[in-house]
Amino acid sequence: MSVDVGLFGPDSVTWKLHREPILLLGGLRSLYLQALHPRAVAGVAQNSGYRSDPWGRLNRTSEYVATVIYGTTEQVERAASRLRRIHSYMTATDPRTGEKFRIDEPELLRWVHVAEVESFLDTATRAGVKLTPDEVDRYYTEQLRAAELVGLDPATVPGTAAEVAAYYETMRPELTLTKDGAETALFLTVPPAPDWGPAALRLGLTLGPTRWAYLGVASTAIGLLPPWARRLYGGPGWPSTDLTANLSARGLRLLLDTVISSLPSKYRVPPIRKAALERAGVAEG
């Protein structure tokens, strides 16, 4: 009887990459990048409850990504089917033209997919995760399966590093910072404290060291953006900014690894990854 390891499995670059906690920073980078597409960010602004429940939305998105990476085939298909169904009901209006459009337009789905997977990969490698050029291309190729889940034709999605670079060059004339994009970026940089615990704790998260630490993380995510994307946000495209962001990402990766390694063993591996490893019969390396 064959073992169901889902879409990827222990020999995939996807499993190798997504074991890295620093991908949380890559996810934040991807949101800043996605917000530069006027229609994509308008669709989020007009359909999402991210302002009223940002942490809940972040948790749901994280759960979906984790399910695609580590879930069984049935779990993945169920999660993707639900996502496609939700998207199929959603429309938005382009604030620049007044044109109504569907959230699941291929152009928008493709932009969100590429910005996400490129952000995961770029952030991880700049933080010190070692991947060969072949592994980089394999990751993009593997992620075509994730693109197909949201309703894209894999043949229309960049599947190598060179294709992603060419895609960004093609998309750049269409990208700009709109009002929705600026408001989204500000929200990502200064989000409300999560509604956890007593008021004193929330106040500490809003005004205390945790707030300043998060601002440092957000600044690193912005610094990791491509120079052309930083310039759209009004920031510098200097090589020195890239170097500073790289050093910050490496430091944050080391910090995360140190914190996680200090936890009791049962908390070091997320449950869905642990279940996938057990199905595959491999140990956490």
Residues 22-79 have pLDDT tens digits of: 999 999 999 999 999 999 999 999 987 666 666 667 778 889 999 999 999 999 999 9
Contact 43, 103 (CB under 8 A): yes
* pLDDT given at position 156: 98
Contact 88, 155 (CB under 8 A): no
Tokens 């938005």 map to which residue? 92
Residues 124-162 have pLDDT tens digits of: 999 999 999 999 999 999 999 999 999 999 999 999 999
The DSSP bridge pattern shows strands 91-93 and 100-102 to be antiparallel
**Highest mean pLDDT pick, 44-48, 85-89, 135-139, 267-271:** 135-139
Our measurement of the distance from residue 228's CA atom to the centroid of its chain's CA atoms, rounded to an integer in Å, reads: 19
Burial 25-35 (b: 16+ CB within 10 A, else e): bbbbbbbbbbb
Cβ contacts of 171 within 8 Å, gap of 6 or more = 37, 111
For residue 93, give the 3-state DSSP assignment.
strand
pTM: 0.91
Residues 166-218 have pLDDT tens digits of: 999 999 999 999 999 999 999 888 877 555 455 444 444 444 556 667 888 99
* pLDDT given at position 91: 95
